[in-house]
Structure 1
């Protein structure tokens, strides 16, 4: 049995300015919400003020890049 270590993407949507870097880099995880002009983390669950999605380590590279490029630092990987 192979165990995979899970990571979490945490998106503080209220800080999002809709620059769409995340959508350009990792469209399989992010999409633009046309109603509010902010980005949505696809498949995430709302936990208090954050949207959280568990990902596998092999999905980390793109999302770490997204977190680094986010101008408002509203995306964290933990």
Structure 2
């Protein structure tokens, strides 16, 4: 079963916890100091990436630690 990471990028404060925890999924955007969800599709201000079950736990941790609460897993 696939899950989705949903990133509300405008709410990102650029703390880079996501990049430190899961660098295969997240990178810092040097232009505006916010983090990007690598390989995601942008829709209505949200960036969405489907992930496999074995990638879920790592990204749940990212979601839990995000101080801006701009990352959620569905």
TM-score for both structures, normalised by structure 2: 0.99
- Does residue 8 in structure 1 map to residue 4 in structure 2? yes
Which residue matches 1:19?
A: 15
The number of residues matched between the two structures is 74
Q: Distance in 2 between matches of 1:61 and 1:23?
A: 15
Which 5+ residue runs of structure 2 have no aligned equivalent?
Answer: none
Based on CA coordinates, which of the two structures has the bigger radius of gyration? 1
Q: Distance in 2 between matches of 1:24 and 1:72?
A: 16
* 1:1-78 equivalent positions in 2, closer than 5 A: 5-78=1-74
TM-score for both structures, normalised by structure 1: 0.94
Q: CA RMSD in A?
A: 0.3
